[in-house]
Amino acid sequence: MNTEKVTRIEVIEKGKRQYVKWDCKPVFMLQDGGRTLKIFIDVDDELKKKLKDASTEVEIEITN
């Protein structure tokens, strides 16, 4: 999935928006063999490096 253009995050539960964040630059991380999705919002360069360094155990897609 190409997430390069994503600038808004919405979390929907039971048909209702529970969380909305506009004008963001999310970073997506899959863990636990693809069973857990983590979304980091407005990540600075230092954290991006740490996430990349952790990629031996997780799959990471940097979106910027």
Determine the pLDDT at residue 55.
Answer: 57
Give mean pLDDT, residues 16-43: 89
Residue 61 lies in a domain: yes
Domain range holding 54? 27-64
User: What is this structure's pTM?
Assistant: 0.65
| Alpha helices for 1-64 (secondary structure H) | 45-53
* Contact residues for 44 (Cβ-Cβ < 8 A; gap 6+): none
Residue 41 lies in a domain: yes
Determine the pLDDT at residue 62.
Answer: 53
Measured CA to CA, the distance from residue 22 to residue 9 in angstroms comes to 7
Residue 64 lies in a domain: yes
Where do we find the tokens 């910027």? Answer: 64
Average pLDDT, the chain: 81
Question: 43 with 51: CB under 8 angstroms?
Answer: yes
Determine the pLDDT at residue 58.
Answer: 44
Does residue 34 carry a pLDDT above 70? yes
The pair of structure tokens assigned to 56 is 């031996």
Q: Higher confidence at residue 52 or residue 61? A: 52
